[in-house]
Structure 1
């Protein structure tokens, strides 16, 4: 019975800590209505995925036209202008950052007011 009480105690402590540490109110939400933000979120997601699969930065930079051609003309221009900077930024950052955090850090997105 003592073991169950100890386990229950630590489970409760863990839940309390996770509730305070990972409070979703503390995580900024990017404003997806901004064209540069929408492009950034998609490009960074693509780059981060390929980085995690072991592709080199140069390999991903060669995919610029392929990736940017997926966008409508006005967003394609934004992609073509920012793609290489986005790739450089993703490769310089820690893997534990989310796509949204990276785009906010690059100032491609602003935080949405809740």
Structure 2
């Protein structure tokens, strides 16, 4: 299992409170590069991790749900043009598309 535990502010950190994001993964392309999508225990947030073969590995995005919609945060190193392209795709996801991704991660976990 590769999922992440992130702090509520979106950083990979041992600080409290933490949010476990280990449901899934499902494979997706964002910015024309491969990513693994995990949902979090709040059933509203996502972590998108660079998949094997992605030139920006290690890198992840955290899509956190709030009252005003979703915020996209990122952490890692790599080619900025690649991460910017993926960030642009992730920022365009609608609430409905994010909900569908969460449902897919939950189904993927059940199949394990």
TM tier relative to shorter chain: 0.3 to 0.5
- Asked which structure has the greater RCO (Cα within 8 Å, sep 6+), the reply is 1
**Structure showing the higher helix proportion among its residues:** 1
Greater Rg over alpha carbons, structure:
1
TM-score norm. by structure 2 comes to 0.33
Instruction: Flag the structure with higher strand content.
Output: 2
